[in-house]
Structure 1
Amino acid sequence: MVSSRLVKLVVFELLELAAFSVPTLVVMEQFAAALQGTRNKNEKPVYWLGVSCSIAYVALVVLVVWVPVKVLLYRKHHLQAKIRGWSPVMLMCVVLSTLPCFAFSIAVTEVQKSVSSSSTSTLPETLPDFQVSLVLTSLIIVDIIEKLRKYPLRGRPVQVRYSKVYLGFRPENIDPKGQSLGPAVTESLDDFNYSDRRLLTGEDDPQPQQQIRSVSEQVASKGSTPTPFRSQVINVEEPPSNSRVMRVMSRQDERAQIFLMSFVTWSDTIEMVRVAGHPAVFGSAWVFPVYIFSCVSLIRIILLPNVPVLGAVGVVLQDFPFIFVRLGLIAALGTITPVLGLFKNILVTGSFIYFNYFINLRFFSVTETLPF
C-alpha cells in the first residue's frame, strides 16, 4: 500500500512543477501572439516559433536545473541542514520563471505600442490580467507548498497549549544581597521530552503547581547552591469564553494561517502589478519602473520567515521603492494607484525606521512607565 507520505511528496512536486512551468508557457505564448500581429495573419511561422522556443526553454530548465536540484535536496539531507535563511526552490522560481515572465510582459506592451504607432490600430483599453495574476499566484503557491512540507495534511499537528517555559529561579529565591541563585534561561517546550511536558502542562496530574512548588522549596533549602529548576511561570493562552461557539471560532491552525498570510503579504505587489494594466501606464514609459520594482519586491520571497533581516529587506525592496513609484504615478497620471497604498508604504517605512533606529538616539530616549 502506498504511504500517505509518498502521495504527499508526489502531489507537492507535481504542483510545484506546474506552478514553475505554466506561467512561463502562457506569457511567452502571449508574446508570440503579439509578435505574430506584426506579420501576415494568414501565416503563423513566428507564432509557432515562439511557442516552440517557450517549450524548449521550460524543458531545458526543468531537466538541467529543476530536477537535479530537487533530487539533490531530497537525497542529500546534510545539504538542507547547511542551507539556512533562504530557499533554493524559491530562488529558482524567481530567477528562472518570474523574472522571464515579467520581462516578456514588458516586451508584449512594447510590441503592441509599435503596432499601434505603425498602423491605424490603437492600444487596447487594458492589458489582460490573467497572465500577470497567474505568475504571482503560481509563485505564492510554491511558497505555500514549501512552508506546508513540515506539516501533516491529515489530522491536527501535535500542539502544546503552553508555548513557553522559563528555566531559572523564582523572585523569592534571591538572597538578601540581591544576587540570584543562578542564571535564567528561556526555552521552548519542544526541547523537553513528553514526561516533562506532562509535568509542566499538568496532564494526568490534578495538582501540578504543588509539584513545581516542591522543587522550588528544595532549591531554597540548599541556600546558594546554583541548581536551576523549572519555575511555574508559563504563558497560558486562555480561551476567550467558556461558550462552545467562542471556542470553535477561536481555533487557529498554523496551516490555515500559511495560506492567509501568503496572500496578505503580497497584496501590495499584486496591486502594483494591476496598475500596469492601465492604458495610461503601459502606454507610457511608466510600465518599466512598475514591472521592475514589482519584480524586485518578489526577491524577498527567497528568504525564510524566521530570518531576522526579513523585515528590513521587505521595507528596502518593497515599501520604500513603492513610495517613489506611487508618488510619480499620482503626480504624472493622477490617482490611478490607490492613495491608501501610498499611505501604507509611508507608514510602514516610517515606523520601521523610527522604532528601530530613531528611538536609539538621545533625543528620543525616554523611559516610559508601563501600565502593568
Structure 2
Amino acid sequence: NAKLIILESRADAEAKVGADGLWIPIQDSTGDQGYTASWYVSKTVVDEEAEPPEPKTPVVTPDDVEFFLIPIADGLAVRASADFNAELIKRAPLNTEFGYLESRADVNKKVGVVNQWINVYDASGDQGYVAAWYVTRKAGTPPPAPGSAAKPVTPPAQPKPVTPTPPVQPKPVTPPAPIKGLAVVPTIEGLAFRTQPLVTDANLIKRLPLNTTLEIDEPEAQAKNKIGVDGQWLKVKDSSGKSGYVASWYVKLATGASSGESQGGSLNLRTTTEGVALRRSTVVNDQSLIKRLPDGSIVIALEADAASKVGVNGEWLRVRDNSGAEGYLAAWYVEKA
C-alpha cells in the first residue's frame, strides 16, 4: 500500500494504470525516483496541493540503462521476419544473450508486450525476430553487433613446391571370355541375380543394370521356351563367369550377343567394366562426358578399323549405344561381343 507520486501528466499516467507492458515514472516518500510496472499499481486520491519531496538524485530512465535480452522460455524461435509463419532460423536456449537492431527506447516499449516483435542478433552473428513477450531485459553490455569488428585475417600459407609426377597409366583390363552361345539382357533396372530360382534375401548375389549381357547356362532349346514367360527362371552367367538365376519374365534376347558382328557388318562391342564413359571427344574432362555405361552394355563401332583397336590401351573407338547416342569409348574397356 505504499503511495507513489507520478512524475508525468495525470492523463498519461491514468491511461497506463493496469496496462500490461507499460511503465510509469514515479517518486516514493523518501524522494527516490524511478519506473514501476503499470500493471502492478492502482490509482488513489492524494492532496493535489502537496509538494513532492525533493529528489535525492536525478531521474535515470530505462532508456539510459544498457541491457541485453534473454529468453524466458527454452527453445525461443528466432524467425526471418516478424511473423509466426516466417521461416525458422533457429531455436535459442535459455540464457542466450541477444543484442537488438532497434533503438533502446523502442525495445523498452516492446519487451513483454504480446504481439510485438524485436529484431535481434546473438553472439554467433545470427539475426532475426523474436516474440517480445518471451524475452526480458538483463543489465549489461549486449554482444557485439554483426560486422562491428573485423576479424583478424590470417595470411594464406605459401604453397609448398610440388614435384610433378607423371600421370598414372591405366592398367590393362583383361576382358572376360566372349559369349559364344545364346545371351539375354534385363528389361528392368536392378534385376535380381540369385543363387537359386526363388525369391529370398539370403540368395541375392547382386542386382543387374539394364543392358547387362548374360550368357545362357542351360540348353538353348530349353532356355528359348522360357524367355519372357512368367514364373520361369533362367540359369545364366555374368561377364565375370559367375553363374546364377534370373526371372525369365524380366529378360529378352540380346541383339547380336552371339554373332560378333551386326547385320550391317559393323562390329558389336561390349563394355567390360561398370561406368565406362561415353564422351563427345577423346579428351577426358567433365565437359566431354555424355553418359556412363553399365558393365556388359552393347555398342556398335562406327569406324572401319575398330577391330584393331579393341582392348588396346591409349586407343579410342567411335561408337553408338542402343539409345542412339554416339561418342567415343576407351578401347581398353571394351571387347568384341
Class of the TM-score when normalised by the shorter of the 2 chains: under 0.3
Q: Which is richer in helix?
A: 1
- Structure with more contact order per residue of length (Cα contacts < 8 Å, sep ≥ 6): 1
TM-score (norm 2): 0.17
TM-score (norm 1): 0.16
